[in-house]
């Protein structure tokens, strides 16, 4: 069993736009490392990796264009995020394809890319900063997440092109 999620990974131009944002680092704020920037289409949780690959490999994944912005905002009291529009249908297809796996989706999908997490009631200097970027989501990633004392480690274990059922497995 692996702790899994399905994500859309930003392309290099979107990453560059994110890099141009001011740092969120300050007391009580923990930035998400750049190599972990992603849009979670579905958090699966503990599930069999082979079954997840099989289900996503047979899914019809619609093409999508992810649009970041217009500003950095809060999601709940502890997350600093960039909203992401344009991936709702793709997230729906992923959720439908993997509905038999992991935990139930308790909340409706809300596209976002997490930049930082905060302690409760800590404000951030990047709340409200404008950002504008977009990318064509040509594939999604099945990611294994290992929780460690130093933070989560994410490993892409397979990718699936949007618009087709052929998987590419990563080792």
CATH number of 2-169: 3.90.1140.10
CA distance 106 to 40: 14
At 19-68, the pLDDT tens digits run 999 988 788 999 999 999 999 999 999 999 999 999 999 999 999 999 99
At 135-155, the pLDDT tens digits run 999 999 999 999 888 888 999
Q: In the chain, helix, strand, coil percent, each to 5?
A: 20, 40, 40
Answer yes or no: are the C-beta atoms of 125 and 22 closer than 8 Å.
yes
Confidence of residue 170 (pLDDT cuts 50, 70, 90): low
CA distance 158 to 106: 25
CA distance 71 to 129: 5
Computed over every residue of the chain, the mean pLDDT equals 92
pTM (predicted TM-score): 0.91
Residue 167 has pLDDT above 50, yes or no: no
Confidence of residue 169 (pLDDT cuts 50, 70, 90): low
Identify how many contiguous H helices and E strands the chain contains and give both numbers.
Answer: 3, 11
Answer yes or no: are the C-beta atoms of 156 and 142 closer than 8 Å.
yes
CA distance 64 to 138: 7
Residue 72 has pLDDT above 80, yes or no: yes
Answer yes or no: are the C-beta atoms of 140 and 94 closer than 8 Å.
yes
**Domain residue spans of the chain:** 2-169
- Residue 82's closest CA among 40, 44, 144? 40
Three-state SS for 20? Answer: coil
Query: Per the structure block, which two tokens stand in for 31?
Result: 């930035």
Note the pLDDT of residue 166: 45
CA distance 88 to 38: 15
Measured from the Cβ of residue 57, the count of other Cβ atoms closer than 10 Å reads 17
At 76-123, the pLDDT tens digits run 989 999 999 999 999 999 999 999 999 888 889 999 999 999 998 888
Cα 110–Cα 122–Cα 79 angle in degrees, nearest 5: 15
Answer yes or no: are the C-beta atoms of 91 and 110 closer than 8 Å.
no
């Amino acid at each position: 069993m692996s702790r899994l999620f399905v994500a859309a990974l930003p392309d290099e131009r979107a990453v560059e736009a994110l890099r141009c944002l001011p740092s969120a680092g300050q007391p009580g704020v923990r930035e998400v490392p750049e190599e972990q920037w992603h849009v979670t289409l579905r958090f699966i949780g503990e599930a069999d990796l082979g079954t997840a690959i099989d289900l996503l490999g047979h899914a019809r994944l619609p093409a999508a264009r992810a649009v970041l912005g217009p500003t950095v905002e809060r999601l709940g009291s502890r997350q600093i995020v960039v909203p992401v529009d344009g991936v709702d249908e793709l997230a729906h297809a992923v959720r439908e394809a993997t509905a038999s796996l992991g935990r139930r989706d308790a909340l409706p999908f809300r596209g976002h890319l997490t930049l930082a997490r905060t302690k409760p009631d800590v404000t951030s200097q990047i709340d409200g900063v404008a950002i504008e970027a977009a990318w064509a989501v040509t594939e999604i990633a099945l990611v294994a997440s290992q929780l460690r004392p130093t933070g989560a480690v994410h490993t892409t274990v397979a990718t699936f092109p949007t618009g087709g059922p052929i998987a590419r497995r990563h080792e």
